[in-house]
Chain A
Amino acid sequence: QVTLQESGPALVKPSQTLTLTCSFSGFSLSDSGMRLSWIRQPPGKALEWLARIDWDGTEFYHTSLKKRLSIFKDTSKSQVVLTVTDVGPADAGTYYCARLPVDEDGFDFWGRGTLVTVSS
């Protein structure tokens, strides 16, 4: 059974660094063709893709946010971490992690998301 769960702080102050963890089970991110992305949804707005990490460690980022994003996988812990530096009001919202297998190219399993508020 594939499951994903996001965790992280519910509240961060402006200019701080946000660190989010996606803990997953039922698959391995070291399996060939396996990929995992972070996606967010600001309140009342559409989904926005942020970053992807592949089974071989290749990383992809939303170009506009690349300077502030970093994605990392810890295969032994079945976790993927996303950091967002210098957060601002536009970074508030629900953050999701989602699996993206290459052989069925869609985000096939998602976590329930974690809500992040940016406020001093």
Chain B
Amino acid sequence: QSALTQPASVSGSPGQSVTISCTGTSSDVGIFNLVSWYRLHPGKAPQLLIYEVTKRPSGVSDRFSGSRSGNTASLTISGLQPEDEADFYCCSYATSGPSLYLFGTGTKVTVL
């Protein structure tokens, strides 16, 4: 497993909700409660949105929520806002393969 699988792109209108999936295996996403999500804007420091599958750091909007079912984790963005137009990545701790942490393939969120 070299990377977790995410959809290349998702889009939604302001105020709508979108969900980004992150599919791994039973050696990473499915077994550890160590899935996190990040938002990347060009030229800015990446931002942690969710850690340990469902937890939100202080200061992060409650519009962001995380969940997991089996080997697939998900990030839901509620009440889509213009500043949510960015690249989003999931990440999981992993015990098999060459990398201790696996990132997802990345999802471009477009606010229509």
Contacts and interface: CB of A to CB of B under 8 A. Distances in A.
Interface of A: 4, 37, 39, 46-49, 52, 60, 62-64, 96, 98, 104-113
Interface in B81-99: 89, 91, 93, 97-99
A49 B55 contact: no
B57 A49 contact: no
B45 A46 contact: no
A46 B103 contact: yes
A39 B103 CA distance: 10
Interface of B: 3, 34, 36, 38, 43-48, 50-52, 55, 57, 89, 91, 93, 97-106
Contacts of B50: 106
Q: Give chain A's interface secondary structure class.
A: mixed
Contact of B91 (A62, A63, A107, A112): A107
A105 B34 contact: yes
A110 B50 CA distance: 14
A49 B52 contact: no
Given A96-B46, A113-B45, A105 B101 contact: no
Given A62-B98, A62-B99, A108 B38 contact: no
Contact of B106 (A4, A46, A112): A46
A112 B55 CA distance: 24
Contacts of B89: 46-47
Nearest to A98: B46
11 contacts: A39-B103, A46-B103, A47-B38, A48-B99, A48-B103, A62-B100, A64-B99, A106-B36, A106-B50, A109-B48, A110-B47
A48 B105 CA distance: 10
A113 B9 CA distance: 24
A106 B46 CA distance: 12
Contacts of B47: 110
